[in-house]
Structure 1
Amino acid sequence: MTQSLLSYYEAIEKASADMLEAARAGDWNHVIKLEGACVLLISQLKNAARSSALSSEEAQLKSRILQRVLVNDAEVRHLAEPWLEDIDKMLQGRPKTLH
């Protein structure tokens, strides 16, 4: 069962690398799609983690994987900043409504 836990972490890392590649290409629709896949993988991981634990060695590997995911995420966010600023500028001129 622990191998499947690590495979979730590896799949999340792969998705985050794919998100970064899509962000570098300016394919924000694909970034959003991959983000949804990550959310699903994380949910599945949480479920699987309830019934198994990682060994010390596996926990170290998990930590290295998560560090790479965080680096990828930070770069995607950095690439998205100009895009998000454009959206903010577009919304500034619109009247604000309360729901």
Structure 2
Amino acid sequence: MVREHGLYPSIEQYACMMDLLGRANRLDEAAKVIEDMRIERGVQVWGALLGSCRIHFNVELAERASKRLLELEPRNAGNYVLLADIYAEASQDVG
């Protein structure tokens, strides 16, 4: 997109990319894309990543994403619930 058309992705396009990479269980790649973003990382991007962490039970990355989400949206209870679900599922897999 950038090389051929000189266009930089919008936050919505990054969020779609996070969703696609997350559904494909390519969470490390998704995290790398977030690190390399040239624009402010918004709730859409972190929310998509957190949702993917729940699907694939990636607690470490979920904690990172939820930390950023809680900074951006401290009153959004859904973010807390999603992290709690991830913790609950992780504890069931261990025990």
Bin for the TM-score computed over the shorter chain: 0.3 to 0.5
Structure of higher RCO (CA pairs closer than 8 Å, 6+ residues apart):
1
Give the TM-score taking structure 2 as reference length.
Answer: 0.41
Structure with larger Rg: 1
> Normalized per residue, which structure has more helix?
1
